């Protein structure tokens, strides 16, 4: 086609329609429809845990968020496990010479070692369950189109790992605070006569902190009214598996 012919096409659009050149059709942009459907996740999910689906497959995004969740629990649980292991073998001489201690001090010493042991066991349980959950996520054989968020995706596909890891970590933190309180009372002789007033203030402050943490935890469990109901489901999923 010569330069003069091109200039004619620019001046007269009708010539382009009569020419043999095909005219490209413009396809209209169609946006994706957003669907809201109830989730069909785990059969044991409560009614408060209904989910909505966006009609999209967000596998990589869900996997990344789920891995971040498990990793966010595993790291502090590992730190708690190391600290509680060191605390478990502290104050051994006092435990062997209980005759020199008062009854209140013996109780505080028993609670201290019991809390340290409980923290160690629950922290290790958190590390194990989060590691297993992260490993199972590597399979990548999950249909995420029916879940509207990562929370319900984990409840639907990793119920045991999701519930047990959360419960064990939350309980281990409370036991760790209880162990710290008794360690302070024993190390600074706050249970001796003449210093019990200070010990009472320390115990009241620490128990207030523990109660505040439990109260806050109960407001963030979403699918359980409080930690006791969550403990009940932990027992159920542990016995079923």
> What is the total count of domains within the chain?
1
For the domain that residue 97 is a member of, what is the CATH number? 1.20.140
Spatial separation of the C-alpha atoms in residues 234 and 228, rounded to whole Å:
10
Secondary structure of the chain in HEC code, one letter for each residue: CCHHHHHHHHHCHHHHHHCCCCCCCCCCCCCCCCCCCCCCCCCCCCHHHCCCCCCCCCHHHHHHHHHHHHHHHHHHHHHHHHHHHHHHCCCHHHHHCHHHCCHHHHHHHHHHHHHHHHHHHHHHHHHHHHHHHHHHHCCCCCCCCCCCCHHHHHHHHCHHHHHHHHHHHHHHHHHHHHHHHHHHHHHCCCCCCCCHHHHHHHHHHHHHHHHHHHHHHHCCCCCCCCHHHHHHHHHHHHHHC
pLDDT tens per residue across span 118-152: 999 999 999 999 999 999 998 877 777 788 899 99
pLDDT tens per residue across span 27-73: 443 333 333 333 333 444 444 565 444 333 445 688 899 999 999 99
pLDDT of residue 142: 78
The model's pTM is 0.76
- The reply to whether 128 falls in a domain is yes
- The reply to whether 19 falls in a domain is no
- The reply to whether 127 falls in a domain is yes
- Determine the average pLDDT of the residues in 181-194: 96
- The reply to whether 92 falls in a domain is yes
- The reply to whether 41 falls in a domain is no
Spatial separation of the C-alpha atoms in residues 90 and 80, rounded to whole Å:
15
- The reply to whether 99 falls in a domain is yes
pLDDT of residue 48: 55
pLDDT tens per residue across span 207-224: 999 999 999 999 999 999
- The reply to whether 170 falls in a domain is yes
Q: Whole domain around residue 62: which residue ranges?
A: 58-240
- The reply to whether 87 falls in a domain is yes
């Amino acid at each position: 086609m010569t330069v003069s012919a091109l200039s004619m096409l620019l001046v007269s659009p009708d010539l382009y329609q009569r020419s043999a050149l095909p005219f490209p059709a413009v396809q209209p942009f169609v946006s994706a429809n957003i669907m809201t459907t109830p989730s069909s996740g785990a059969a044991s999910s409560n009614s408060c845990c209904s989910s909505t689906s966006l009609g999209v497959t967000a596998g990589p995004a869900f996997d990344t968020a789920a891995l971040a969740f498990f990793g966010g629990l595993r790291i502090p649980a590992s730190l708690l496990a190391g600290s509680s292991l060191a605390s478990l073998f502290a104050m051994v001489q006092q435990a062997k010479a209980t005759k020199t201690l008062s009854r209140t001090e013996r109780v505080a010493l028993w609670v201290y070692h019991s809390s340290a042991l409980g923290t160690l066991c629950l922290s290790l349980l958190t590390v194990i369950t989060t590691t297993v959950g992260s490993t199972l996520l590597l399979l990548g054989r999950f249909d995420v189109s029916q879940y509207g968020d990562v929370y319900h995706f984990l409840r639907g596909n990793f119920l045991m790992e999701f519930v047990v890891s959360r419960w064990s970590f939350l309980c281990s933190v409370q036991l760790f605070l209880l162990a710290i309180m008794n360690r302070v009372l024993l190390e600074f002789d706050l249970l001796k006569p003449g210093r019990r007033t200070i010990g009472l203030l320390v115990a009241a402050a620490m128990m207030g902190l523990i109660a505040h943490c439990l109260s806050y935890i109960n407001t963030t469990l979403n699918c359980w009214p409080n930690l006791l109901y969550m403990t009940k489901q932990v027992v159920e999923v542990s016995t079923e598996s």
